[in-house]
Amino acid sequence: MHELSLCRSVIRIIDEEARRQRFERVRRVHLTVGAFSHAEGEAIRFAFPAAAAGSIAEGAALEIERGPGRVRCLSCGAVWERMERVAPCGDCGDYAHEVLGGDELKVTSLEVI
Amino acid sequence: MCATCGCGHSHSHSHSHSHSHSPGHEHGQGHSHDQGGDFATRLVRVERDLLAHNDAHAARNRALFAARGTFVLNLVSSPGAGKTTLLVETIRALAGRCPLAVIEGDQETGFDAERIRETGIEAVQLNTGKGCHLDAHQIEGALGGLPLRPGGVLFIENVGNLVCPAGFDLGEHHKVCILSVTEGDDKPLKYPDMFAASDLLILNKTDLLPHVDFDVARCADFARRVNPKIELLRLSARTGEGMAAWLAWLEARIASPANVAGMGTGG
């Protein structure tokens, strides 16, 4: 997707939270990138230093939690967590599914001073 | 690396992702500051969505469309699948029956908006420059230039791209994916995000089926694996084959009270 512009969104969120939660510098950024989101963790890691340059998160470490997607099989009702967007149900082999979650793309927390 | 979408930074997989990307933590790289003399850090909870900015604009668009009683479609496809020709033929078929307006998106040129205006319908051309998709903020900016009247349709023709537009809610009622039969029947599995995000798949250029190796049933099966609820239509915008079913799909939804109340799913 647009990992550089996503990283700029991270910096914007950090600046807003710095005012709200009163901190001055960020040492570590915790992100959640869901398996069914449209972003790629490695590309975020690559783009982050460029976006953070000159900001209060410059030099901060990045921790990316890759959450799995959650689906319910529409044939047998089994609920699965998985990283693949499309896969047969582990119980009945059918592909038809409903997505229950796993597309989050968010800043979960920050380690700050 | 493309600064806009990160392309060029790919890595190959010989098998499914579940082997290479097991869920869990990945520790960030260290940095150059001396941590020994640093103040103790504290943890602050944030829980904020990176796409919230776009989603807020999309919600405002959605509310405006509901207030104006306008049915809005976001047309997505690869470049050259036939979005503009389909729009031109659709406008010709619907002309006079309901208010119509179009927002066109391309990196450069006003070619597509010009083709729409030749049909007598108002069109706004958005040029994204280096950008590879339309976003809700751009749509918000374009709305001032268009008449949106109750019972009407706004068609948004997105930038030709089977990847990026999938992630951006513009405030539409539905994303409609157009796939032409010259593009290969395996695209739903190769580009699952786009087919998952679309409520309707239009297979276009069916007049070319005798000349290409395109298995319609296989494509439909793949599309339903990604999105069990996706609807499917086959047509040729050029010959008119299948257009009646597409117009019926449109007219059923334009007239729907749910759309007038702004309860379309969009996203």
- Range 80-99 of B in CB contact (< 8 A) with A: none
User: Could you give the CA distance from residue A63 to residue A30 in angstroms, rounded to a whole number?
Assistant: 5
Chain B residues whose CB is inside 8 A of the A37 CB are 167
Lowest mean pLDDT among A47-51, B38-42, B46-50, B206-210: B38-42
User: Could you give the CA distance from residue B148 to residue B143 in angstroms, rounded to a whole number?
Assistant: 8
Report the first-to-last Cα separation within chain B, whole angstroms.
28
Asked if residues B112 and B104 have their Cβ atoms less than 8 Å apart, the reply is yes
Cβ–Cβ below 8 Å for B225 and A95:
yes
Asked if residues B53 and B84 have their Cβ atoms less than 8 Å apart, the reply is no
- Range 70-89 of A in CB contact (< 8 A) with B: 74, 81-87
The ipTM, to two decimals, is 0.91
Say yes or no to pLDDT of B20 above 50.
no
Which amino acid would we find at residue A101? G
- Residue A20 — pLDDT band, cuts 50, 70, 90? very high
pLDDT tens across B27-67, in order?
444 444 444 445 689 999 999 999 998 999 999 999 999 99
User: Could you give the CA distance from residue B84 to residue B53 in angstroms, rounded to a whole number?
Assistant: 29
Q: Nearest Cβ partner of A46 from B1, B38, B40?
A: B1
Lowest mean pLDDT among A20-24, A47-51, B252-256: B252-256
Helix (H, G, I), strand (E, B) or coil at B88: helix
User: Could you give the CA distance from residue B179 to residue B200 in angstroms, rounded to a whole number?
Assistant: 11
Chain A residues whose CB is inside 8 A of the B167 CB are 1, 37-38
Mean pLDDT (chain B) is 86
pLDDT tens across B63-114, in order?
999 999 999 999 999 999 999 999 999 999 998 899 999 999 998 999 999 9
Chain B residues whose CB is inside 8 A of the A85 CB are 192-193, 196, 226
Query: pTM, whole model, 2 decimals?
Result: 0.84
Q: Is B220 on the interface with A (CB under 8 A)?
A: no
